[in-house]
Structure 1
Amino acid sequence: MILDPGHIEENTSLRWRHHFRYTSNPYVASRPDISSPHSTHHSVTMDQPFSTAAALKQQYHGIEVSFPAGNNDFRAVRNSCAAACRAFNSTPEDADAKIRGEKWLDIVKPGRPKKEDGTSAEEGTMVTHDQAISNPALKATIPFVKPPLWVDYGTRLKVASSTFINRNCVILDTPVADLIIGERCNIGTNCTIVCVGHPVSLEGRRSSKLSTGAPVTIGNDVWIGANVTILPGVSIGNGAVIGAGTLVNCNIPPMTLAVGSPVRLVKSLVSTEDKPLNLIKTVCESTKFTNSLPMEQWDGTDSAFRAAQAAQLAQQSRRGSEQVAIQRREEQRERLRKSEIVVIAAVTTVVLALLMLFSLFFFAGLYLGGRRGCIDL
């Protein structure tokens, strides 16, 4: 499902954004207390920029479910998952794949059957995603997840084995709604995925004391940048890219770049592969490759750093001095222009005064000459 290029930027009216906010997020649309006050039904009209809006609504749907999170059975599951997360976070990143895999499965499949050697009977040999990258002959059975990781329940958390999750990921899942992360996804650091909620009204929070759960679905080949927050009931289509720091509060169509807080759709993406401009294949090659911004003279020592910093400050000072000199020259030129204007005005005034005097004497002479002729007659 590929979007028509240019549709996103050409049709970003307030009316469309309002409609997209309340119809494409099934979690919001299912709640009457926060649904659109301007419409009683959520239909898809023909003037929307995405012709796939109806398909998205049908494909990604979820029902908000309430549950008593404070009850002992729910609390026991959370405590068990918290213990599994502590054990996973205490495991070094360079630990054996079997150990890392076991700790991960303790979070997402705590009640699975186990073999005597400690591996899961249903999973077989433990191969993490990072091992499959280094050895294409292997097929990953466990996603590559860097600690620390925090998960609430883990009972309905499904992460594909070819997905990578970076550090400090917080997953606030629920036991009443699925949280699915597809194949070949990259999730950046400090991301938060939220499936849980609470009643909006104060009376509802006081009386019921219930939590609500809504599903979240992240499709295949999705790249989620750092510090992204995904809210309940959200679906992210295949191949989408979510920029760093984005607040995702509505569905994201496939092959779309989305950024901002709250999220806004920037453009549709093409599926062609980006060719790397510089490819470094080994660590030895990386040490010989020069790639740095200003202060490249720094060799790691404090003296070199101070010298580079002083050179940078001197360069900035020279630039400042040049700017001051340019400003002074401009001011001098402005003063000269003003002086020239004053001189021209003065000369013009004198010439006009002389012309007026000459005209006065001329007409006075003519007048006096005429009077004298009259007297002689």
Structure 2
Amino acid sequence: MILNSGHIEEKPSLRWRQHFRYTSNPYAASKPDISPNTDSAMSDQPFSTAAFKQQYHGIEVSFPAGNNDFRRVRNSCAAACRAFNSTPEDADAKIRGEKWLDIVRPGRPKKENGTSAEEGTMVTHDQAISNPALKATIPFVKPPLWVDYGTRLKVASSTFINRNCVILDTPVADLVIGERCNIGTNCTIVCVGHPVSLEGRRTSKLSTGAPVTIGNDVWIGANVTILPGVSIGNGAVIGAGTLVNCNIPPMTLAVGSPVRLVKALTLNEDNTGGGKPSRRIETLDESTEFTNSLPMEQWDGTDSAFRAAQAAQLVQKSRRGSEQVAEQRREEQRERLRKSEIVVIAAVTTVVLALLMLFSLFFFAGLYLGESRGCLRSSDL
């Protein structure tokens, strides 16, 4: 069982919040190829929610992570990660590429001199950025990086992964990261889980694995956690500090813990932060000449100024508290008004029902008396 599973919610107000597992990229419903080595076409509208609810094909698999064969793969991957993390960032691309392949393709053929038998020149993504004539064959990954197994980890060559990325992958489920993705620092991608029941954890001692798919052109901010069985659609943006526990449609901005969908993005989305001033710097010399800093809060060093600043903060806090109290009182007044309206409606309904009952009583009494008089007249005859 995985912690982010749950019941499918059908309410319209919650249609963007599918709190259950999806494990294949729903973008594949209209774009058939989402492998990290292809360039899928982009859409400027998010995928329909109904289509998302129809698309999930991943399987949660249990496996004994404590067995010797699984432990051997983890130990080998840990050694490869240590070697990768100890390699300087400015080392030759061939060296960095070999260290990366030791993590994701440990069983690849090698030549006698210890180098890889991969064909072609090894080019990292950062080299391709500086020289557009080159095509990246290895993603740009900044150390330190921590991976558990690496055997089913697939990262596209044009993707960038920043420092301190933790990937808790499994040998029973794929973890796919598509083309041109940017993954911020201190991100955690989780494919592994454990039984929720105490008895299950005590007796079975099994781990569970579920796939994770991150589509093309996805930007994941710093300190994001992605849980098992989650698919993030092409072009999505995940804000810093987000806990992704459900699928994210393509071309969507998602933030929060747990995640909530903010808005649909467009291909030419404004990245200036809502009217903030922006400028483009082309060279290092130009950057050193450019001043870009915020003004420091003014304080002349005297206690009176400090106390004045404290008093201003207290005034702001008191004003916010007064506004909250006033809003609470208004809400109470609205609640009392709603209750009084309910009482009035109930009273009016009661009066109407009573009148109807009286009318019915008089009506049936009149009918009874009329029949009685007719019977008396017939007996007189």
Q: 1:156 to 1:298 in 2, by over 3 A?
A: farther
Contact 2:172 2:209 in 1 (8 A): yes
Q: 1:302 to 1:82 in 2, by over 3 A?
A: farther
**Counterpart-to-counterpart distance in 1, 2:47 and 2:344:** 68
Q: 1:359 to 1:300 in 2, by over 3 A?
A: same
More divergent stretch after superposition (276-285 vs 341-350)? 341-350
Contact 1:162 1:183 in 2 (8 A): yes
1:10-49 superposed Cα distances (whole Å, 9 cap, x missing partner)? 9972576466789999999999999x99xx9999999999
Once the 2 structures are TM-superposed, how far is the Cα of residue 290 of structure 1 from its aligned partner? 1.3
Q: 1:295 to 1:212 in 2, by over 3 A?
A: same
Once the 2 structures are TM-superposed, how far is the Cα of residue 120 of structure 1 from its aligned partner? 2.9
**Counterpart-to-counterpart distance in 1, 2:187 and 2:234:** 19
More divergent stretch after superposition (106-115 vs 173-182)? 106-115
Once the 2 structures are TM-superposed, how far is the Cα of residue 125 of structure 1 from its aligned partner? 1.2
**Counterpart-to-counterpart distance in 2, 1:10 and 1:362:** 50
Contact 1:195 1:231 in 2 (8 A): yes
Once the 2 structures are TM-superposed, how far is the Cα of residue 61 of structure 1 from its aligned partner? 2.8
Question: Is structure 2 residue 188 aligned with structure 1 residue 188?
Answer: no
Question: Is structure 2 residue 141 aligned with structure 1 residue 145?
Answer: yes
1:88-114 superposed Cα distances (whole Å, 9 cap, x missing partner)? 000111111111100000000001012
What is aligned with 2:13?
A: 13
Q: TM-score with structure 1 length normalisation?
A: 0.67
Contact 2:217 2:236 in 1 (8 A): yes
What is aligned with 1:50?
A: 47
**Counterpart-to-counterpart distance in 2, 1:100 and 1:158:** 17
**Counterpart-to-counterpart distance in 1, 2:142 and 2:107:** 23
Q: 1:202 to 1:13 in 2, by over 3 A?
A: same
RMSD of equivalent CA atoms: 13.6
Contact 1:141 1:161 in 2 (8 A): yes
Contact 1:27 1:62 in 2 (8 A): no
Once the 2 structures are TM-superposed, how far is the Cα of residue 225 of structure 1 from its aligned partner? 0.2
Contact 1:9 1:266 in 2 (8 A): no
Q: 1:72 to 1:111 in 2, by over 3 A?
A: same
Q: Secondary structure at the match of 1:115?
A: coil
Once the 2 structures are TM-superposed, how far is the Cα of residue 341 of structure 1 from its aligned partner? 43
Contact 1:66 1:211 in 2 (8 A): yes
Contact 2:148 2:168 in 1 (8 A): yes
Once the 2 structures are TM-superposed, how far is the Cα of residue 75 of structure 1 from its aligned partner? 0.1
Once the 2 structures are TM-superposed, how far is the Cα of residue 79 of structure 1 from its aligned partner? 0.1
Contact 1:25 1:249 in 2 (8 A): no
Q: 1:16 to 1:359 in 2, by over 3 A?
A: closer
Contact 2:81 2:147 in 1 (8 A): yes
Once the 2 structures are TM-superposed, how far is the Cα of residue 335 of structure 1 from its aligned partner? 36
Percent identity between the two aligned chains? 90
Contact 2:221 2:238 in 1 (8 A): yes
Once the 2 structures are TM-superposed, how far is the Cα of residue 210 of structure 1 from its aligned partner? 0.3
Contact 1:147 1:168 in 2 (8 A): yes
Contact 1:5 1:268 in 2 (8 A): no
Contact 1:24 1:56 in 2 (8 A): no
1:225-272 superposed Cα distances (whole Å, 9 cap, x missing partner)? 000000000000000000000000000000000000000000000111
More divergent stretch after superposition (165-174 vs 118-127)? 118-127
Contact 1:119 1:126 in 2 (8 A): no
Q: 1:349 to 1:313 in 2, by over 3 A?
A: same
**Counterpart-to-counterpart distance in 2, 1:55 and 1:354:** 55
Once the 2 structures are TM-superposed, how far is the Cα of residue 223 of structure 1 from its aligned partner? 0.1
1:140-174 superposed Cα distances (whole Å, 9 cap, x missing partner)? 00000000000000000000000000000000000
Structure 1: give runs of 5+ residues left out of the alignment: none
Correspondences of 1:1-377 after superposition (within 5 Å): 13-14=13-14, 17=17, 51-52=48-49, 54-116=50-112, 118-272=114-268, 274=270, 277-295=278-296
**Counterpart-to-counterpart distance in 2, 1:366 and 1:12:** 54
Contact 2:46 2:264 in 1 (8 A): no
Q: Which has the larger radius of gyration?
A: 1
1:265-290 superposed Cα distances (whole Å, 9 cap, x missing partner)? 00000111659941111100001111
Once the 2 structures are TM-superposed, how far is the Cα of residue 51 of structure 1 from its aligned partner? 3.0
Q: 1:95 to 1:243 in 2, by over 3 A?
A: same
Once the 2 structures are TM-superposed, how far is the Cα of residue 362 of structure 1 from its aligned partner? 71
More divergent stretch after superposition (20-29 vs 270-279)? 20-29
Q: 1:352 to 1:315 in 2, by over 3 A?
A: same
Q: 1:276 to 1:121 in 2, by over 3 A?
A: farther
More divergent stretch after superposition (335-344 vs 135-144)? 335-344
Once the 2 structures are TM-superposed, how far is the Cα of residue 115 of structure 1 from its aligned partner? 3.4
Q: 1:11 to 1:279 in 2, by over 3 A?
A: farther
Q: TM-score with structure 2 length normalisation?
A: 0.66
**Counterpart-to-counterpart distance in 1, 2:43 and 2:297:** 56
